[in-house]
Amino acid sequence: MSFSNLLNEVTYRDQRASPAKTNTTNHTESRSQISRARSYASTAATSVSITGDISSQLHGGYSHPLARAWQAERQLTKSMLIYPLFVTDNPDEEESIPSLPGQKRWGVNKLVALLQPLIAKGLKSVILFGVPLGPNVKDTLGTAADDPSGPVIAAIRLLRRAFPRLFIVTDVCLCEYTSHGHCGILHEDGTLNNQLSVERVSDVAMAYAEAGAHCVAPSDMNDGRIRAIKLKLIEAGIAHRVVLMSYAAKFSGCLYGPFRDAAGSQPSFGDRRCYQLPPGGRGLARRAIHRDIGEGADIIMVKPATQFLDIISDAKEIAKDMPVAAYHVSGEYSMIHAAAKAGVFDLKTMAFEATEGILRAGATIVVSYFTPQFLDWLET
């Protein structure tokens, strides 16, 4: 309604409501009408929503950037982020990974210089993946996984000394170290020998914990490995100082391609669909989450993240008294880079949208290759 129409309307209503007022002078009447019209204009805006549906009026609540930030149940902070690092057995390695833009394989000797500036910007945590490159280092048992002079244990010791406040997570699996590239020890027919695999994986977790890792994170998906690791931690008297983060809902799929390039963990035959979860298996994921909570996990992880937001939401509901982590995996990261490079969207904007979606679904910890950039972006 235009202002002049509104004025006429008000005058008409006023005359009907208070005919005595017509006795006043024209001059006073005119000023009074305008004043009342203004007053009516302001209340009319309110009465529109009051007589209609007041809940339709939302814009005011997010008109300011800070008010928009407050709309989020969880806002991204630096302490939510874990940065994945690929550490090789060549101490001076610094090798780019073409399918994972901006990420490299690092030798132990390069880690301090890499991390120093990131820690100064607020990096709180890293997750280590060992990448053995030496000749004949892989075998059917993944012997190199807990080699005391191997890259992961060497990195744990170095980082504990160099950065006492850095929280060190170690991925625990055998696939980087086995000659066949699977996440455990195999039967002769090529299927996983669950019992031997759990024994071996839990030994590797113990080796990392005893070397000083703050958190061990088994990603192998063998049944019962959380319980086995927890019992060994208790038996060794270190359960009170080691966080056990379970890759409880880890789905199989094509989003791990760049990671396998980085870690050299492509299976030499078959795939991992008999132990990683089928992408449609929501109920199975819920059962795995329940199981791993019961077996003593301290944190539940969902992986990948943006294709599995419903599972993150399920994890938050099931593990409501525990932190939920999500791994924004290599394929998700590389897709964003590829699309941004093709001009589909702005890299930073999409990195935030993807990560905020993960938080909205229920995670409070995000393993992200964008971590170094977020440390800068969150400053501004």
> In angstroms, what is the C-alpha Rg of the chain?
29
According to CB under 5 A, which one of 119, 145, 173, 186 is a site residue for Zn ion? 173
Q: Is 303 a catalytic residue?
A: yes
Peptide bond into 304 cis (omega under 30): yes
Active site residue 250: yes
CA distance 249 to 276: 8
Burial of 227 (0-12, 13-18, 19+ CB in 10 A): middle
Q: Is the CB of 228 or the CB of 359 nearer to Zn ion? A: 228
Choice between 175 and 315, CB closer to Zn ion: 175
Which listed residue (144, 168, 175, 285) binds Zn ion by CB under 5 A?
175
CB of 294 to Zn ion, least distance (A): 23
Query: Minimum distance between the CB of residue 149 and Zn ion, rounded to whole angstroms?
Result: 22
At closest approach, how far in Å is the CB of 219 from Zn ion? Answer: 6
Which candidate in 110, 124, 303, 316 is catalytic? 303
Count of residues in contact with Zn ion, rule CB under 5 A: 3
What is the C-alpha to C-alpha distance for residues 200 and 184, in angstroms, rounded to an integer? 8
Beta carbon nearer to Zn ion, 255 or 361: 255
Part of the chain binding Zn ion (CB under 5 A), chosen from 177-185, 275-283, 289-297, 339-347: 177-185
Q: Using the rule CB under 5 A, is 183 a contact of Zn ion?
A: yes
Query: Taking the complex as a whole, how short is the minimal distance between the CB of residue 314 and Zn ion, in angstroms?
Result: 23
Identify which of residues 123 and 175 has a Cβ nearer to Zn ion in the complex.
Answer: 175
CB of 138 to Zn ion, least distance (A): 13
Shorter beta-carbon distance to Zn ion: residue 37 or 326: 326
What is the nearest approach in angstroms of Zn ion to the Cβ of residue 316? 25
The CA–CA distances, whole Å, from 180 to 123, 183, 218 equal 35, 9, 19
216 binds Zn ion (CB under 5 A): no
Select from 15-23, 168-176, 189-197, 331-339 the region that touches Zn ion (CB under 5 A). Answer: 168-176
Binding flag, residue 217, Zn ion (CB under 5 A)? no
Q: How far is the CB of 173 from Zn ion (least distance, A)?
A: 3
* 250, 316, 341, 348: the active-site residue: 250
Stretch that binds Zn ion, among 16-24, 170-178, 287-295, 312-320 (CB under 5 A): 170-178
* CB closer to Zn ion out of 10 and 173: 173
Stretch that binds Zn ion, among 132-140, 175-183, 247-255, 357-365 (CB under 5 A): 175-183
Nearer to Zn ion, 181 or 362 (CB): 181
Residues annotated as part of the active site: 250, 303
Could you list the residues that contact Zn ion (CB under 5 A)? 173, 175, 183
